[in-house]
Amino acid sequence: MKNLESLNVAGKRVLVRVDYNVPIENGVIEDDTRITASLPTVNYLLSHGASVILMSHLGRPKGVDEKFRLEPVAAQLEKVLGKPVKYIASKPASLETAKALEGIKPGEVALLENVRFEAGEEKNDPELNRSLAALGDAFVLDAFGSAHRAHSSVSGVAGLLPHAGGILLEAEVKALGKLTEHPVAPYIVIIGGAKVSDKLKVIENLLPKVDRMLIGGGMAYTFVKATGGKIGKSIHEDDYMDTAKRLLEQYPGKIVLPTDTLAGDAFSNDANTKVFATNDIPDDWEGMDIGPDSIKAFSSALAGAKTVFWNGPMGVFEFEKFATGTNAIAKVVAELTGAYTVIGGGDSVSAIHQSGQADKISHISTGGGASLELLEGKILPGVAALD
């Protein structure tokens, strides 16, 4: 992948695809991590004499939608960047946008409107690719969270302009590459979340490489039921039970499942709770978090680990009553000494930040789907376009 140093950007207008798909509530940005993560690339380009034109999507709008405008993002970017940001409210490929950018000078920054307001964005439309490319002299992809999408602003423009990967993108690819190319043993992977189907390819690709795979969250109950366990009303996928059984037989001793479960009598933070053996949950109860014995077992399995990847919560993390397992694992991972630790996935990232020890993690990924696809062994369209 070509990096920033391979581009001569002095006096050039550089189109930069960033990932500013941030949570916004009532016009207020609740978490600006993805905005601040783009600053190294933006500042590099500015310091090397470029004018910077930023492109991003926000949400899943169907055409122009007022609630998905990037104006709040522009205001927050201006605040963290410490210099004016020109927000252009017209559609990115419009004549109005092209006109608004005519006078942009080296050292200046502009943010285009939501690229998904353009109908051709998600179709990688050749005409849209040409219109966007005409706005700049070079292209930089720094949106790792979107690099698994073959969209116009991600991979389409790259083929029409001199291009490179940004600092964030390069760091993500290198960090995640360490998990698949000669990881240092003992190598422990922690996988959580609701469904086996969402992460089956990651599980299958990483199992041959790891020493242990700790499986929590809703997906654990599919594995438990596959072994004949009683899981009550716990979420599971009957269609994947044969797959779960096959993996347990194919990798004996590698997959570690919860031995006990904190269950609730309703899917609510107000539910009554009780701890049961994970393979003996009564019919009217639902597994909501790993239990205290499982927390100890998972913590013990992590002791001495030299490489750790964690994706997905251990339980219904949204409810405080059932966040104990996820928070406990976050603390253990953060406190590992001499280990290379990588966290990807919204709830896992939230948990490590809540633990107050995020600065002890080697790498916190900004891309959920993109990081999983990379670890599945897939080639990301955005990265491939920069080859």
Which residue among the candidates 130, 245, 331, 346 is catalytic per the annotation? Answer: 346
Which residue among the candidates 12, 17, 34, 91 is catalytic per the annotation? Answer: 34
Lowest mean pLDDT across 169-183, 204-218, 348-362: 348-362
Structure confidence by residue, pLDDT tens digits, 201-248: 999 999 999 999 999 999 999 999 999 999 999 999 999 999 999 999
Q: What confidence category does residue 381 fall into, taking pLDDT thresholds of 50, 70 and 90?
A: very high
pLDDT of residue 110: 98
Domains of the chain from N-terminus onward: 4-170 (3.40.50.1260), 178-375 (3.40.50.1260)
Indicate the DSSP class of residue 86: E
- Asked if residue 189 has pLDDT above 90, the reply is yes
Any idea what the Cα angle at residue 139 is, between residues 135 and 140, rounded to 5°?
A: 135
- Asked if residue 259 has pLDDT above 90, the reply is yes
Rounded mean pLDDT, 194-206: 92
Q: Which residues pair with 363 in a beta bridge?
A: 342
pLDDT of residue 30: 87
pLDDT of residue 387: 80
- Asked if residue 367 has pLDDT above 90, the reply is no
Mean pLDDT of the chain: 94
Using alpha carbons, list the distances in angstroms from residue 236 to 28, 53, 256, 309.
36, 46, 17, 23
Percent helix, strand and coil across the chain, each to the nearest 5: 40, 20, 40
Q: Are 170 and 195 in contact (CB under 8 A)?
A: no
pLDDT of residue 255: 97
pTM of the model: 0.87
- Asked if residue 346 has pLDDT above 80, the reply is no
- Asked if residue 357 has pLDDT above 90, the reply is no
More confident residue, 26 or 225: 225
Active site residue 346: yes
Rounded mean pLDDT, 87-107: 97
- Asked if residue 348 has pLDDT above 90, the reply is no
Structure confidence by residue, pLDDT tens digits, 100-143: 999 999 999 999 999 999 999 999 999 999 999 999 999 999 99
Q: What confidence category does residue 42 fall into, taking pLDDT thresholds of 50, 70 and 90?
A: very high
Indicate the DSSP class of residue 190: E
Share of the chain above pLDDT 70, in %: 99
Which residue among the candidates 195, 254, 321, 378 is catalytic per the annotation? Answer: 195
Distance in angstroms (rounded) separating the CA atoms of residues 310 and 345: 8
pLDDT of residue 72: 97
Which residue among the candidates 178, 232, 331, 369 is catalytic per the annotation? Answer: 369
